[in-house]
């Protein structure tokens, strides 16, 4: 393996004035590129390796907006705040958990910096549900810590808070499905983890 981009968000978030985008799918990328080109200032956008899926076209009325988070699905028991490919995984896990009568909301945050703190606070405040931040990044310095910081600064306390990200370690190399299972961010394992956190 040549490299793994599992700590890039942490490094990029520390650069003043840098906008950071972590798109979910081909629709996000297609809509983000012209907005990035029109944006005044530097932008870092993560891209997926391999065949890029198309997921968000199934969400009625969805469109990418630089700097904005979007609630893709509502649910009373859990709120998953996610970015990148983990938004796709969160939607899949939410559909699976619905068969067990577990309502999972999904808030997609394709812009990591500046973070849409208003949307996050609105989604968490006054709702008694577990908050899970899901990201394809180290749990150090990524979306999870950004969300936790925002909630603390706005004095918003969720019913529970968990990070579903990559461990603070040098990771194995291999096929993505194998790695996602191993590190707890595949559809099946993410669903199992969410169910376990609700107990």
Cα–Cα dist 157/21, whole Å: 26
Residue 185: alpha-carbon gap to chain centroid:
11
- Mean pLDDT per block of 10 residues along the chain (199 residues) reads 81 98 97 98 91 95 98 98 97 98 98 98 96 97 98 97 95 85 94 96
Instruction: Please report the pLDDT score of residue 112 as a whole number.
Output: 98
Query: Which percentage of the chain shows pLDDT scores above 90?
Result: 89
pTM of the model: 0.96
Contact of 141 with 98, CB cutoff 8 Å? no
Burial class (CB in 10 A: 0-12, 13-18, 19+), 190: buried
**The tokens of 50 are what?**
């391999």
């Amino acid at each position: 393996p040549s490299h793994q981009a599992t700590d890039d968000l942490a490094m990029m978030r520390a650069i003043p004035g840098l906008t950071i985008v972590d798109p979910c799918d081909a629709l996000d990328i297609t809509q983000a590129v012209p907005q990035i080109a029109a944006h005044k200032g530097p932008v870092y956008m993560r891209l997926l390796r391999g065949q890029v899926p198309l997921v968000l076209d199934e969400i009625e009325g969805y469109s990418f907006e630089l700097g904005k988070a979007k609630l893709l699905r509502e649910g009373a028991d859990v709120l998953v705040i996610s970015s990148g490919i983990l938004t796709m995984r969160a939607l899949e896990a939410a559909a699976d958990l619905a068969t067990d009568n577990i309502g999972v909301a999904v808030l997609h945050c394709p812009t990591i910096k500046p973070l849409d703190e208003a949307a996050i606070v609105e989604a968490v405040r006054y709702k008694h549900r577990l908050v899970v931040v899901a990201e394809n990044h180290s749990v150090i310095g990524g979306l999870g810590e950004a969300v936790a910081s925002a909630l603390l600064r706005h004095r918003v306390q969720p019913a529970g808070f968990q990070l579903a990200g990559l461990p603070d370690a040098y990771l194995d190399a291999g096929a993505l499905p194998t790695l996602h299972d191993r590190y707890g961010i595949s559809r099946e394992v993410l669903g199992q983890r969410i169910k376990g956190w609700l107990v």
